[in-house]
Amino acid sequence: MIKIFKTFGGYSEIPKAENGCWINVIQPNQEEIQRLIDEFHLPADTINDILDTDERPRVEFDDDWSLVIMRIPVESANNGVPFHTIPLGIYLAENFTLTLCSQDNEVLPTSQPPSIREQYRQITDVVNFILRLFLRSGSVYLKYLKQINHMTSQIEQDLEKSIKNRELNKLLKMEKCLVYFITSIKANEIVLAKLRNAKKITTEINEDLFEDALIENKQALEMAQIYSDIQSGMMDAFASVISNNLNVVMKQLTLISIILMIPTLIASIFGMNVPNFMEGSSWAMPGIILFSIGLSVFGVILFRKRQWI
């Protein structure tokens, strides 16, 4: 999908590209990719790099264009991993700015509420637009980190009573999300530093906006690292908890087997085909049953006093 906007805020959509416009490309098909090559003269290898989900963030300068690739967080249900990161490419040409991403996301302003899109309305140069994207990316990272923390708390409650590995697998997927986030945020910080020191960037950088973007990314990185450390320790602890829960269950089953063995033993003894002193008594059957129940109750009381049950 290719949309062309007159300004970076994404309010005024126009049919054709004009000087200073913003072109937003999301999930392009083969025809749209060919249009990017023919009409907007994007190099084919650059398009393939941006659409590669494993592409690392970087800054690239050429005589006629510049390229900034950052990694942004998106929601995903693939393999049960709720969040991962994908590349977002910002292609800077002389007459237009083009953003290219393989998936719809919360970083670009086109599909965001007016309160968020309004922040882009006052931006007139592409460098500060890129800084605004980094700032928004850090905010989205923080938002998803809070959701990961909430999911982890729910899994933690289930783990306290679990004897299966299902909850540990869920916790492992949360850890994978945090690894994706930490790696991507660190790489984004390097790109931010390169942008600030790039000699080809002649536009005056809004220092306040740059500092806000840097602080937001550092905060997201610190939170992700804290959550990752907590989860690593939690996984080791709860692996022992699951093993202990299983031992408790096996202990209880063993005690139940011992209690059930008492009436079975008595019934086996009196059921033997040999003479005994009760074969002529009409109270033999009820007496044996009551005696078996009494011994079983005594066994339960004994185990409870020893706190085995």
The whole domain housing 26 covers 2-244
Domains of the chain: total: 2
- CB-CB contact of 209 with 128 (8 Å): yes
**Among 244, 273, 293, where does a domain finish?**
244
φ, ψ of residue 83 to 5 degrees: the values are -140, 150
> Contact at 8 Å (CB) between 81 and 169?
no
Q: Are 152 and 283 part of one and the same domain? A: no
pLDDT digits (tens, 9 = 90+) for 173-229: 888 889 999 999 999 998 888 887 776 665 666 778 888 888 989 999 999 999 888
> Does 200 fall in a domain?
yes
Q: Is residue 168 in some structural domain?
A: yes
- As a whole number of angstroms, the distance between CA 71 and CA 100 comes to 12
3-class secondary structure, 9 = coil
pLDDT tens-digit profile of 104-153?
888 887 665 555 555 555 666 788 888 888 888 998 999 999 998 888 88
Does 167 score more than 60 pLDDT? yes
**pLDDT at 54 (0 to 100):** 87
pLDDT tens figures, 32-72: 888 888 888 888 888 888 888 888 988 888 878 888 999 99
> Within this chain, do residues 53 and 121 fall inside the same structural domain, yes or no?
yes
Report residue 155's pLDDT band, with 50, 70 and 90 as the boundaries.
confident
